[in-house]
Structure 1
Amino acid sequence: MALPLRVAGVPRQEIGARVGELLDLVGLSSKADAYPAMLSSVLVNMFRSIPFIILLVAMLPVTRMIVGTTMGT
């Protein structure tokens, strides 16, 4: 979960805080030190989809504008 934040250059302390908050949010703080192989495939896939979901939510206003323009509304 921390890899995208590391790639983005987020400071380590902030990464730890963000990952901790996210794990608490989804009720998985007990799995904080687990490697992907130790987690179920459902959990791994859920974590993989989080950046995509955030991107979709962030793009929602733009998507509405594009769809509205395309449909002539």
Structure 2
Amino acid sequence: MSNDPVKGPASYFPSIEKKYGRPISDWKELVRKSCPARHMDLVSMLKTEHGMGHGHANAIVAHTLAEDKS
């Protein structure tokens, strides 16, 4: 197992889970259910419908869409 620090959007995941009380898998599922949609539309949905901050919403959307591309 690597001791390298987590970088990129996933570095926000522990604080997102703590602040909003739901696992990241729940947020990713919500994003995927809202697809197809544009990146910023998904960010806006998380912000307006779930009270998420911009950075947290953007991190979840970016990570989810990148996962689904590969």
Normalised TM-score (structure 1): 0.29
Q: Which has the higher contact order (CA 8 A, sep 6+)?
A: 2
